[in-house]
Amino acid sequence: MAESITIFDTTLRDGEQAPGFSMKPAEKVRLAQQLEAAGADVIEAGFPICSEGDFEAVTAVARVCRQAKVAALARAVEADIRRAGDALREAARSRIHVFIATSDIHLQYKLKKTRAQVLADTFSAVRMAREYTEDVEFSAEDATRTDLEYLIEVLEAALEAGATTLNVPDTVGYCVPAEYAALISQLKSRVRGIENAALSVHCHNDLGLAAANTLAALAAGARQVECTVNGIGERAGNAALEEIVMALHVRRDALPFFTNIKTEMLVPLSQALTEITGVGVQPNKAVVGANAFAHEAGIHQDGVLKSPLTYEIMTPQSVGLRQGQLVLGKHSGRHALQKRLAMLGYNFERRQLDEIYREFLALADRKKTVEDADLHRLAGGGALPRAAAEAQAQPGARS
C-alpha cells in the first residue's frame, strides 16, 4: 500500500539564498499561496532573524496560508528562536525549524564548539522552540559528514527535548544514494524514540545527486522531503520539487509513495518562480524545462506521432502543459514535417513531400530551427492549403 510523503518546500528560504534569487515579502506571499494551492504540506517562508524583510515575509505568509504549515528557520540560538516564534504568531499551523552543525569540521572551523556544547545547545534550543509551537523540526547540519555515533546522540537529545521532525541533511551534496540510504536505515533502527518523529531529508545537488539521494532515503524509511521549485538553492541547488514529485508519480511501482501535490501545477509554479526572480531554468531541465516534452530527432518524432508512450513517460498535461512540441530541425524526419505542414493546412503527394523535404533539410542545415513562416515559404511553390484544395474539389467549382 502506498504511503504518504510530506513535501516540505524551502524555495522561499533555502532557495532564495542562491545569488540572484532574493524575493521581496509580497513576492514570497504570491509564491507561497501558489505552493499552498498546489498542495505543499509545509512552506518554509524564511529566516526571520536574518533581516527585517525576512521577518515581514514570514509574518505575511503565516497570515495568508491557512492550510499548509508555515515554517521559520532558526539557529540553535535564543534570539533566533524568539524571532521565529514572533514571526509565526498569526499562523494557523506553525513550525519552528531549529538547526545546528554537527560534523567535526563545522564544530572546529565554524562553531568553534565541542561536541558536548553542541549537544547541550541542541537540547535547550528545541526545548525553547516548544514554548512557541508543538511542531518543532531539528536539523543536524552537515549530518552526512558527522560521526554516526555522535549524530545518533544529538538526534536523541533533540527527541528528548520535544522535536517532532528530525532532518538529516546532506548539506554539501556529498553522499551517493546507497550511502545515504544506509545512513537513514541506521538512524531508523538505532535512534531511540525515532518512531515518535517524522524522519526528513534535505539534499543538495553539488554532485547532481540530490533527487537520487532523496529517493534512496525514502526507500530506506524517510517520510519527509525538503525541496525547492526548479531545484534552486545554495551553490548547485536543492532537490527539485518537480523531479521528486513526478518520480513518485510515474514510478509508483518501484517507489510506493504519493504526495498531496497537484502535478498539473508544477509548470505554473516553475513559471511563477521565473517571473518573480527573472531567472529561468535550463532548457533540458527535467519536468519543467522547455525541452522536457520537445522532440527534434526524426526517429523520436515518428514514434511520438504514432504513440506518445514511445518516448514520453509522462504526459505534458500531467505537469501543466497543454501539449508537447515537435521541433523541426536538421534531425527531423518526413513524418514530422508532413504532420506540421498538415497542421498549417497543406497536403502533398509523396513526390511533392520528398522535394519539399530536401529543401527543408538544406534550410535546416543553415538554421537551428525551422519556423512556421519558413514552412509556408517552402510550401508556397504551387501547393494549396488543405481548405483551398477541398473547396476546389467541390462539384461546380471553377477550373
Cβ atoms within 10 Å of 90's Cβ, excluding its own = 13
Query: What pLDDT, in 10s, does the model give residues 338-389?
Result: 888 887 889 999 999 999 989 889 988 998 888 888 888 898 854 444 443 4
Per-domain residue ranges of the chain: 3-277, 294-391
* pLDDT string in tens for the chain (399-residue length): 899 999 999 999 999 999 999 999 999 999 999 999 999 999 999 999 999 999 999 999 999 999 999 999 999 999 999 999 999 999 999 999 999 999 999 999 999 999 999 999 999 999 999 999 999 999 999 999 999 999 999 999 999 999 999 999 999 999 999 999 999 999 999 999 999 999 999 999 999 999 999 999 999 999 999 999 999 999 999 999 999 999 999 999 999 999 999 999 999 999 999 999 999 999 999 999 988 988 777 778 878 778 888 889 999 999 999 877 777 888 888 888 888 888 788 999 999 999 998 988 998 899 888 888 888 889 885 444 444 344 344 444 433
Residue 394 exposed, middle or buried by CB count within 10 Å (0-12, 13-18, 19+)? exposed
Q: Is the pTM of this model over 0.75?
A: yes
Query: What pLDDT, in 10s, does the model give residues 294-334?
Result: 877 777 887 877 888 888 999 999 999 987 777 788 888 88
Q: What superfamily in CATH does domain 3-277 come from?
A: Aldolase class I (3.20.20.70)
* Beta pairing partners, 202: 169, 226
The distance from CA 298 to its chain's CA centroid, rounded to whole angstroms, is 30
Q: How many CA atoms lie within 13 A of 65 on its CB side?
A: 32
How much is the pLDDT for 119?
Answer: 98
Residue with cell 527585517: 52
- What secondary structure letter does DSSP report for 48? G
Rounded to whole angstroms, how far apart are CA atoms 378 and 369? 14
**Which residues neighbour 49 within 8 Å (Cβ) at sequence distance 6 or greater?**
55, 74, 75, 77, 79, 80, 83, 84
74, 44 Cβ separation under 8 angstroms = no
How much is the pLDDT for 368?
Answer: 81
Tell me the residue type at 266: L
For the chain, the first-to-last Cα distance in angstroms comes to 69
| SS3 label, residue 7 | strand
How much is the pLDDT for 387?
Answer: 42
166, 200 Cβ separation under 8 angstroms = yes
How much is the pLDDT for 201?
Answer: 98
